[in-house]
Amino acid sequence: MITVKGVSHVYGRGGGAVEALDNISVTFSSGTTALLGPNGSGKSTLMNIIGTSISPTQGDVFYNDTRVDRATVEDYRAQLGVVPQHISLPKRMRLSEVLSYLCWVHKVPAARNRQLIDSVLERLDLAEKRNSRVGELSGGQLRRAGFACALLHEPSVLLLDEPTVGLDPEVRVEIRRLIADIATSATVLLSTHLLEDVRFLDPEVAMIKAGQIVFSGSYAQFTATLPNGKASRDSSIEQAYQQMLHAHPSVSTVVKQKCDPRR
């Protein structure tokens, strides 16, 4: 479980300062949470803070009730897996070599290397590609290789940035099924603008607008924000997203959503 408490982040200083996040508080429990919001809303900043690549200007991140700080950050990072939107791996290295190197990075005991590599390649349907060079992989295989790298050390938290963008429909369905499988035993935070991914996964939903959380709840609750519930399943999430995007919720509504202990 990841808990964000009172997190703000400002880029720049003085007159050129830009507030990307404004006092955000939200909890991401086990299972999948889709992080929605328009470009510039603060999604990437929040993902980067949770992933420890940047520090918040104020506020804290907690992992299972333990504050992430200098004393605990390395233990926390050992529980993190990250799949960026753009997978960048050494093209001349064989996939098995990349994974062996990552075992060393994650301080995996040498006796477990082969077992973990075999297991993750089998899970990602990449066993036949273990000796292929990264540059020889197709787009879908490269994306799955990115998941293999992120899952190799068996993390309990997985951060996904637009994991299905640019993929063929068939591969996109495979990745969605993989995410659903991973979420049975981990906390998965999925940043996406592809609403069909959200519809397929039926996740918890957190929506950011102008650096603030404007909704946090279940997929059903998100689509239930539509008046009279008249939208079909195929269109409801798009309509709910547009309605939330253009709405101006009261402070009391947002605070209630943030503080619900079930989320």
- The two structure tokens encoding residue 143: 């994306």
C-alpha closest to that of 225 among 213, 233, 237: 237
151 within a domain of the structure (yes/no): no
Q: Quote the CA–CA distance of 233 and 207 in Å, as a whole number.
A: 19
92 within a domain of the structure (yes/no): no
Residue 188: which H helix or E strand, with range? strand 187-191
Please give the residue range of the domain that contains residue 23.
2-79+156-259
Find the mean pLDDT for residues 201-228.
87
Q: What is the model's pLDDT at position 243?
A: 75
Selected residue with higher pLDDT from 241 and 161: 161
CATH of the domain at 70: 3.40.50.300
What is the DSSP pairing of strand 204-209 with strand 157-161?
unpaired
Instruction: Answer yes or no: are the C-beta atoms of 173 and 140 closer than 8 Å.
Output: no
15 within a domain of the structure (yes/no): yes
28 within a domain of the structure (yes/no): yes
Query: 97 by DSSP, 3-state: which?
Result: helix
Q: What is the model's pLDDT at position 247?
A: 72
Q: Quote the CA–CA distance of 203 and 180 in Å, as a whole number.
A: 9
- Most confidently predicted of 1-5, 13-17, 244-248: 1-5
C-alpha closest to that of 225 among 208, 245, 209, 255: 245
Q: What is the model's pLDDT at position 231?
A: 45
Q: Quote the CA–CA distance of 54 and 169 in Å, as a whole number.
A: 33
pLDDT at 208 over 90: yes
Confidence of residue 250 (pLDDT cuts 50, 70, 90): very low
C-alpha closest to that of 44 among 16, 85, 80, 14: 85
pLDDT at 257 over 80: no
42 within a domain of the structure (yes/no): yes
Concatenating the DSSP letter of every residue in 73-89 gives HHHHHTTEEEE-SS---
Which amino acid belongs to residue 37?
Answer: G
57 within a domain of the structure (yes/no): yes
Confidence of residue 258 (pLDDT cuts 50, 70, 90): very low
Taking only the tens place, the pLDDT of each residue in 71-116 is 999 999 999 999 998 999 999 999 999 999 999 999 999 899 999 9
The domain total for the chain is 1
Exposed/middle/buried for residue 194 (C-beta within 10 Å: 0-12, 13-18, 19+): middle
Q: What is the model's pLDDT at position 191?
A: 94
Confidence of residue 244 (pLDDT cuts 50, 70, 90): confident
Q: What average pLDDT does the structure give for the chain? A: 87
91 within a domain of the structure (yes/no): no
Lowest mean pLDDT among 11-20, 37-46, 199-208, 212-221: 11-20
Which amino acid belongs to residue 51?
Answer: G
146 within a domain of the structure (yes/no): no
pLDDT at 56 over 70: yes
Radius of gyration of the chain (CA): 19
